[in-house]
Structure 1
């Protein structure tokens, strides 16, 4: 296949690519039936979002999946979307859009390489093993060409892996950093072993929070795979609607997504419910990767002190320790996570801006922003909850 010409093709539906070819690039480690490292870029997850109508007409997310073929074989692919807004991305470019349009430009539509509504780091330039370098380069070149040919303002690859970042930077894309909070399992045998690594005050606070939360008047239930039943999705949808309406105005996912999740994703999902008298009063939804647990959605129909922390953080830690997972990624925002053992980590995105003057201005801004993010991460890590003799294990 050496020297074979590479063909870039755009697709409006995943089905025109096919699950075998997509997953050969997105999760080759799961080819023998194991868990994928990143459940969010699998065919079954992205297909569930598409087929449920969570993306597509009327959503501002128009699928434009990209493939690179050599000698008839798909060697790389990317979850590319045409966007008519900047919602559901978690890497905020509203100020860029405002500045560009004030100067007389048209910022939307733009191109976005992302897992919709999902602030989780992973590969965005998906490649078949053995084609990493040539596949990433072909995808970036193809995306930029699509943007230039259609007079689009910009291209954005959000929550990229570090190999994606290096490939993008080599091809002239701008690099942006941000931060999230992750919990790292350093080989804890139990939740008490984790608590022992904390300062005395933090340890006491967490024990108090757990005791108060567990007095909500019922039981806590963790469900995955075939233990998840349709009525559990009814409850999770109610919680998601409530939280989504308060945070975003309109929830991103449709009800049909949760039905699709039951059909094709329930082995990738951990639901944690607070149950009383057979009814769920609060719940959290996580996705399960080969090495990590990914916290996604939370909601409740009753308010109970610290129940959010119990279901979203502490129960997740219990489950991750039991399953031997290396970390928990708890999503966007939340400096309150620091006191509960989640430390800041760097996130990455890549950007192409068609207008050279605008690109120069943004590049200067991004340099200053990267320095500020690095400094903030250093300061917050130093103020973390761990005993001083344990902090170096988490750096």
Structure 2
């Protein structure tokens, strides 16, 4: 059965693509991925060239798919292989271009190999067989779910890599105070003090869905988002147009909390929701206020998840500072198929050592959680 590479996802109908997605996670939706493409956030000179892989049956209907991009760098992936690329450069081995199965700029675990397992396995085998003939050094699939892990584990040539994130779980809390009651006394006082400090600066919060923001407010959201990159001397990954397109195409999945001081907005956090989860993605502020980051990015999202009955809050990739606020360590997985046998052997050895470190780090982090001991 043929495998086709789609350089624009609009070549496939939204209902056809979304019909392959096993859960309503917003990042996999046709609307999200085409907003990235149509806004210029990927494509062009970004180093992200859409190459979505689709296995078709004899009637031309998709059986399996992988959202994928040809990459000429390793930025915006959040599974860091810069060291592998540097080693290849020193050894005279071409590491780029590579094929990446992932959601751009979104370190969120979820389905990657879409379709029935038998078809997805056939798609995998076809892709790895074609890599070298297409001038690609490797295939990487980042932030996989359990179904993809089951297909990839033990498969010849594939290397598993572990990572660690911090997610908050809603244990059917009645309200935020109910959550606080489960913390140790010292941590409970710290969280309460942080929230009081923000309130004492006269800052209030306003939650909006995608259709409830006008273009001027989207300008503010983007200004805040872009500022988080600009203060580090970097260019933002996403364009301003992306936010307007997403608000047009999937407004029901968007949640934005605006922090205001009087009538003046001073900060925001942008999230998406779906599959019983809240996904905190972007934040930014235009003025410095003590503890505002923790309130806007964490406590407001926890409050919202409790009020809406959402079971999980994924507030982003990094941050040991989340631990003392009740976010628990979660192991993430990515998978890597490297064509060059010497590189594959070297990376396999590195990953064995890294795995021990990641698992140890996760266990150590779990011991630092603020919850009261039973």
Look up the match of 2:215.
230
Please point out which of 4, 21, 30 is paired with 1:9: 4
Alpha-carbon distance, 1:247 to partner:
4.5
In structure 1, distance between residues paired with 2:71 and 2:231: 23
Task: Output the CA distance in 2 between the equivalents of 1:41 and 1:340.
Answer: 29
Where in structure 2 are the equivalents of 1:114-129 lying within 5 Å? 114-127=102-115
Give the distance between the partners of 1:135 and 1:187, measured in 2 at CA: 38
Q: 1:9-48 maps to which residues of 2 (within 5 A)?
A: 9-27=4-22, 29=23, 36=24, 38-48=25-35
Q: Corresponding residue for 1:106? A: 94
- Structure 2 CA distance for aligned equivalents of residues 296 and 360 of structure 1: 35
Give the superposition deviation at 1:143.
2.3
Matches of 2:167 and 2:97 in 1, distance apart?
Answer: 33
Specify the alignment match of 1:393 in structure 2: none
Look up the SS of the partner of 2:55 in the other structure: strand
Residue 135 (structure 1) aligns with: 119
Structural mapping, 1:79-94, within 5 Å: 79-94=67-82
Mapped contact 1:83–1:111 kept (Cα < 8 A) = yes
Which of 14, 22, 45 pairs up with 1:58? 45
Structure 1 equivalent of residue 151 of structure 2:
167
Q: How big is the alpha-carbon RMSD for the aligned residues of Structure 1 and Structure 2? A: 1.3
Q: Decide which moves more: 46-55 or 210-219.
A: 210-219
Which is further off, 262-271 or 188-197?
Answer: 262-271
**1:345-356 correspondence runs (5 A):** 345-356=330-341
Going from structure 1 to structure 2, the CA distance change for 1:89 and 1:252 (only over 3 Å counts) comes to: same
Residue-by-residue CA offset, 1:148-175 (whole Å, 9 max, x unaligned): 2123221111111122122122432110
Instruction: Report whether the alignment pairs 1:326 with 2:311.
Output: yes
**Pairing 1:156–2:140 present:** yes
Maintained 8 Å contact 2:170/2:310: yes
Report Cα offsets for 1:230-279 as digits up to 9, x if no partner: 22211110001100223471100011101102211221111011113433
Unmatched runs of 5 consecutive residues or more in structure 1: 1-5, 30-35, 390-395
Alignment-derived partner of residue 325 in structure 2: 340
Aligned equivalent of 2:130: 146
Match in the other structure for 2:198: 213
- The separation in 2 between residues aligned to 1:147 and 1:284, in whole angstroms, is 39
Q: Give SS of 2:84's match.
A: helix
CA distance in 1, matches of 2:88, 2:140: 15
Which string of whole-angstrom CA distances, capped at 9 and with x for unpartnered residues, describes residues 255-305 of structure 1? 110110221122111101111343310000000012100010000001101
Report the equivalent of 1:275: 260
Residue in structure 2 matched with residue 305 of structure 1 by the alignment: 290
> Could you tell me whether the CA contact under 8 Å between 1:228 and 1:266 is conserved in 2?
no
Say yes or no: does 1:246 pair with 2:231: yes
Shift, 1:22, TM fit:
0.5
TM-score (norm 1): 0.92
Q: Deviations for 1:27-84, whole angstroms, at most 9, x for unmatched residues?
A: 4x5xxxxxx1x10010000010010000001000000011111232212111110001
Contact kept in structure 2, 1:283 and 1:300, CA below 8 Å: yes
Equivalent residues, number: 372
The answer on whether the counterparts of 1:272 and 1:285 sit within 8 Å (CA) in structure 2 is yes
Name the residue aligned to 1:33: none
CA contact (8 A) 2:160 2:336 kept: yes
Output the CA distance in 2 between the equivalents of 1:244 and 1:46.
22
Q: Is the 8 A contact 1:137 1:171 kept in 2?
A: no
Corresponding residue for residue 68 of structure 1:
55
Match of 1:214, SS state, is: helix
Structure 2 distance, partners of 1:74, 1:49, is 22
1:96 to 74, 84, 102: 84
Distance (Å, rounded) in 2 between the aligned partners of 1:246 and 1:352: 36
TM-score, length-scaled by structure 2: 0.97
Report the CA distance shift for 1:349/1:248 in structure 2 as closer, same or farther (over 3 A): farther
Report which stretch shifted further, 193-202 or 211-220.
211-220
**1:386 and 1:148 mapped to 2: Cα distance?**
51
Kindly indicate whether residue 188 of structure 2 is the aligned counterpart of residue 203 of structure 1. Answer: yes
